[in-house]
Amino acid sequence: MELLVLLVPAVLLVLAVSFMVFYQAVGIRREHSGHRREKLTAQAMDSLARGLAVAENEIHRRNVRLNEMSGKLQLSNAQLSQLNNMKSKFLSMVVHDVRTPLAAIKGFSELFAMQAEATEKQKGMSKRMVSAVTRLERLVSDLTDLAMIEAGKLTIEPVVFDFYEVVDELLPSIEINAQNKGVVLKYDEVSRGIMVKGDKFRLSQVLQNLLNNAIKFTPKGGLVEMRSRSDGRWLYVYVKDSGVGIHPSETRQIFEKFYQAKYQKDARLAKLGWGLGLSIAREIISLHKGEIAAESGGLGRGSTFWFKVPVTFI
């Protein structure tokens, strides 16, 4: 029940802000014209961007509170099982109900940005709105995976594929992310013919998470490197960055769900994320009978994340 008390208000806040400003923007375009309409539309879009930021911070605060409460609860096995079932059902319900309004808001924002009469300022605000909604979409996706993990229903669909295909399909979007952040992305040419029997989508999800995290926690002008190798039994993939680094005591803890770094000097950096991506990545690699880990020389000295999965022969 504590989970419902903590998360329901935050989710309702996301939906309330989204619907309110969405319909406000639609109403403005119907009832006003000219300079007045541009001004009111800009205000509405700015309100949505601020509202989404507030909602995001509120969900983060409540997730931290939930994590603190979970550590204090002393429950019997029956109570824990009941709580997990409630949590899984709730997460599934939230994911289902949030996807549709987010898609509508994102579509409206992208459409508005493409209209000829939109000013540069309005286009900029539209892009900020799309970015904010994209972050929430990632959260919804992570919550979907978390619900499946909690229910023991996260599975993989194994097929035999060339790992080169994963990197070739993924890197273009990662390069755009790095360019937008001002981070240098380097990678060795991936050899063709390293065959893996696994879930191509899920392994791509793991690599995408590691690369985006590296870019997120690396300052402008920094470096992110990716390389891979095979020893004939295992495929090894490494993502190295020159970013904020990890405290030695946290290299294992960061793979726990909802975990937030405690030793970062910049509190803002410690809250860049939900504490879900790495825990989901660990579960995916585990389902592939592989291993994932992090290494760092300490705070301010960058970090290296790596994983390995078995290779196969055809």
Q: Which residue has the higher pLDDT, 2 or 125?
A: 125
Does residue 111 share a domain with residue 163? Answer: no
Min mean pLDDT across 24-38, 67-81, 252-266 is at: 24-38
C-alpha span between 259 and 278 (Å, rounded): 9
Does residue 168 share a domain with residue 55? Answer: no
CATH number at residue 184: 3.30.565.10
pLDDT band at 237 (very low <50, low <70, confident <90, very high): very high
SS3 308: strand
The residues with which 236 forms a beta bridge, in sequence order, are 229, 308
Does residue 14 share a domain with residue 133? Answer: yes
- Nearest in space to 260 (alpha carbons), one of 109, 63, 120: 63
Q: Which of 124, 150, 176 is the last residue of a domain?
A: 150
Domain that holds residue 122: 2-150
SS3 30: helix
Residue percentage of the chain with pLDDT more than 90:
36
Overall number of domains in the chain: 2
Does residue 171 share a domain with residue 144? Answer: no
Q: Which of 150, 168, 190 is the last residue of a domain?
A: 150
Q: Which of 99, 118, 150 is the last residue of a domain?
A: 150
- Nearest in space to 44 (alpha carbons), one of 62, 31, 61: 31
Does residue 228 share a domain with residue 145? Answer: no
Q: Is the pTM higher than 0.85?
A: no
Does residue 284 share a domain with residue 217? Answer: yes
- Nearest in space to 277 (alpha carbons), one of 238, 305, 298: 305
Number of H helices, E strands in the chain: 8, 7
Min mean pLDDT across 8-22, 179-193, 207-221 is at: 8-22
